Amino acid sequence: MPTDCISYQNSGYFSKLIQDYLDQKPELQSLYNHFPTLENFEKQIVEKQSNFNNNNRIPLVATLKKQYQNIEISDSTKQNIELLALENTFTITTGHQLNLFSGPLYFLYKIISTINLTKELKSKYPTYNFVPIYWMATEDHDFEEINYFNFKGKKFRWNKESTGPVGRLSTEGLAEFFEIYSLELGSSTNAGVLKKLFEEAYLKHENLADATRFLADSLFAQYGLVILDADDADLKRAFIPFVKEELENQTSFKAVQQTTEQLQDYTVQVNPREINLFYIEDTLRERIIFENDKYFVNNTKISFSKEEILKLLESNPEKFSPNVIMRPLYQEIILPNLCYIGGGGEIAYWLELKSFFNAVNITFPMLLVRNSVLLSTEKQAKKADNLNLSWKDLFTKPADLVNTITHKLSAFPIDLTPQKETLEKQFEYLYELAQQTDKSFTGAVKAQEVKQKKGLENLEKRLLKAQKRKLDSELQRVTDLQCELFPNQSLQERQSNFSEFYLEKGEQLIPLLIQKLKPLETNFNIIMI
């Protein structure tokens, strides 16, 4: 089967903003620091070195050791945590929600992009160390976004109430969920590995943060991945001055609002609030609102004077949680980070933030769109071959694909363009005649031209429809294959869970992806399993 090179820009699955960013359009260049090329990392290293507070490495390493104390840590990860104490060590970071059993496939691709980029950087810049970081979104509170995953077209949902930060949520109740999921997995050797992994992650850890850390570590420890839960009082002490600035001056709102006005030709990913902070407790995460010289916690009776809230910030910084606008700043303050790797939607909101970073004098990281992958079995590739389909064909919209294949399979041309051209020539002659007689005749010619052109267009549509009926069985095979590869007319990586492919490939799955993915290339990876 032809292995077309499908760029992100031509895939049909990325927004105009991301396409223009990848094309490095001049009008967007003020929204980012350095475009992610291997050579540009040298400039980023110099800037980060001059701007990063190396004192923040001490609580970072201490916190990571504390968070890993109940995990049998790999030598690679242990070494990377120790390296973070050194001033010549930098991080490459990706972040992801605490989706149940990792959620959609792109969880793997984000982390593998991050691991592979650190390898490339170490090869290019051997005097520095580069550590891959998975930032767990433990402070998010939208449980409905993460409490399920899809497996072989079925949705497995964890029915539970949650109102606070999801990282602190108890895993109680997942034993019943596990029983149902186990039945679907079957009894193969690979199924046994998946069952054990789920059981050890979710049934032997008390909260979702610990469960997710165990899961990600089990999958990636050998590659030195470091997993960070930033919902931590010691880490947030470094963030106190910036939270204070936000409470007193609403700097982020003013800066980001100016940038969103620049992005009027695009869909704005997130809009800033006047205060981009939440107040959190174990079962509470609500916005902080400033009104009438007081600070209120939304949907509660909790309120503070300015003096009271600043005092609370100094004594309990863990009670202040950054939202989507402030979280990137928190990340860049506590990590010696060079680059953030994310999906199109994430990079779109990061592009709103550079003016805010400038306003608080923090180096803005490089922004890299993560690898995207389409996994195909050999059987599916053979089907596509037999149907004379290219990968480019399969990426097109379903209706367009059916039309293209109908034209391709038809024994005669469905396109009536030659007839339309003949008709136009005939009417050219009639218009010449009209100029020699009464003007009313010109109107009659025009009306007849419109009628006959429309008639030909209708005939063309009916001919296409008739051919679709005649070629129904072949077209059904085409649409069936596309539905297999693009479930729910969406990207496979946004729909399917890794366990579906682990059943097929087992412990070879992640090494295969590690081998194939090139983080600085902006093409869809089509990988046979």
| Mean pLDDT across 280-296 | 97
| Residue range of the domain that includes 191 | 16-238+325-372+511-528
Could you tell me which residues are beta bridge partners of residue 134?
Answer: 94, 227
- Which pLDDT belongs to residue 414? 81
Supply the pLDDT for residue 327.
Answer: 98
Same domain, 359 and 490: no
Task: Compute the mean pLDDT over every residue in the chain, rounded to the nearest whole number.
Answer: 95
What's the mean pLDDT in 118-127?
98
CB distance 436 to 392 below 8 Å: no
pLDDT of residue 4: 58
Q: Is residue 286 part of a domain?
A: no
Residue at 515 is within a domain = yes
Residues 20-29: what's their mean pLDDT? 97
Does any domain span residue 23?
yes
User: Does a structural domain hold residue 1?
Assistant: no
291: in domain: no
Query: Is residue 103 a part of any domain in this protein?
Result: yes
Q: Do 492 and 523 sit in the same domain of this protein?
A: no
Mean pLDDT of 361-376: 97
Q: What is the pLDDT of residues 376-432, one digit of tens each?
A: 999 999 999 999 899 999 999 999 999 888 888 887 888 777 888 888 888 888 888
- Both 440 and 524 in one domain: the answer is no
The amino acid that residue 329 corresponds to is L
Nearest to 363 by CA among 26, 137, 127, 32: 32
Residues 208 and 331 grouped into a single domain: yes
* CA quadruple 95, 281, 143, 63: dihedral, nearest 10: 30
Give 369's contacts (C-beta < 8 A, 6+ positions apart).
8, 14, 18, 21, 22, 341, 342, 343, 344, 347, 522
Q: Are residues 105 and 166 in the same domain?
A: yes
Residues 365 and 464 in one domain: no
Residue bearing the bigger pLDDT, 453 or 385: 385
Where residue 2 falls among pLDDT bands split at 50, 70, 90? very low
| Residues 452 and 338 both lie in one domain | no
Residues 156 and 103 both lie in one domain: yes
For residue 198, pLDDT beyond 80:
yes
Residue 10, SS3 per DSSP = coil
Are 136 and 157 in a shared domain?
yes
Cα four-point dihedral sign 11, 13, 16, 19: negative
Q: Confirm whether 215 is domain-assigned.
A: yes
User: Which region holds residue 91: left if phi is over 0, alpha if psi is between -120 and 50, else beta?
Assistant: beta
Q: How far is CA 493 from CA 153, 355, 504, in A?
A: 13, 32, 16
Domain check: are 184 and 234 in the same one? yes
Residue 243 lies in a domain: no
The residue-averaged pLDDT of 139-150 equals: 96
Residues 424, 365, single domain; the answer is no
Number of folded domains that form the chain = 2
Q: Are residues 482 and 517 in the same domain?
A: no
